[in-house]
Structure 1
Amino acid sequence: MKRVTQLVVAMMFVAVFSEFANAQKLPGLDPSPADIAYFRPDGRESVPVIRVIYGRPQKKGRTMLGDKEPFGKVWRLGANEATEIKLYKDVTFGDKKVSAGTYTLYAIPTKDEWTLIFNTKLDTWGAYSYDESKDVARIKVPTGKTDSEVEAFTIAFDGSGGTGKMALAWENTLVTVPLKY
């Protein structure tokens, strides 16, 4: 009798575990995973100046800039949700001072220059509900070339002593935005 009870309990455990495993099917990884770029000019332990949350689309053998992401149109500057930038203090990008706060960051890419747009409408997916009346700054920046092809769209920062740069890179395009903080 004890053996039968153990067998019944074991079968119930297998049935419950099997049902739990089936109920826990999760979707695969996002092909454009989210990333966060911080600008901490005084090191990892310091208070950040800027934080950017963005989706990192992958090139995957395609032509992205000027094709999949057409030139001359507002782009979410990444994938999925529109890119969000948080300024912990006032920062001057190029020649435009942007007050501390959180913004959606868009771009209008062309072959020779990108227009970066700081917009107050938050929590948007893509650029489908972009509202130009919510823009607080637009900065035009010339494009350059990367040393080698960049597979995943990338945002990175560098700098110290009150100045720096925000780099946007994808494919063979590099956009460097000077900043002061």
Structure 2
Amino acid sequence: MSNTKSNAFQLENIVADMFNYRGYNVSFNNDSRDYGYDLEASYGIETYFIEVKYSKTETIPGYIIYEAAQKLVTLSDLTDKDNIPVLVVAANLSLNTWKRLDEFERLIVIDISNLIYMLEGLVELKSQLLALLEYSVADLLPVEPKGGLFTNELNHYISEVSKVDTLIESLKQWNLNMNNCV
């Protein structure tokens, strides 16, 4: 196995461990064919399809990331599961690549600065990540990723069931307020 393939596999394990640590049930897509995602992580009613991209260099060409995102989102849309596609990239993305990825509304993208942010407090996993990288991240500032992973924020990724529950609760409160006004 080449060093790059070995590092890519190790990165998948780091990402899986990061989700496991946060309480997600994680399984590897062990099919020898690449169906567009490497990991499936679930927590409650949410399921994430996670594609992990490793790079020996600080950047990955935008077309590679775009194609991976397109494949991941298409797969996500074709499944019966209520799922959210997540693309994890162990490199910096150009501004142009970020703009192109905006067309995929449900896609959560995690680049190297987001990954470093998400590994804060997980010293062993962060050390493993830094040991894999063949470039320096000393100048990178950790940045919280968009999409609300590992937070309690309400965002547009909330499942439809949660939206319905919120609406029902709002209607109950409205009904109570109306009854109190009479």
Q: One fold, TM greater than 0.5?
A: no
TM-score (norm 2): 0.30
Which structure features the higher share of helix residues? 2
Larger-gyration structure (1/2): 1
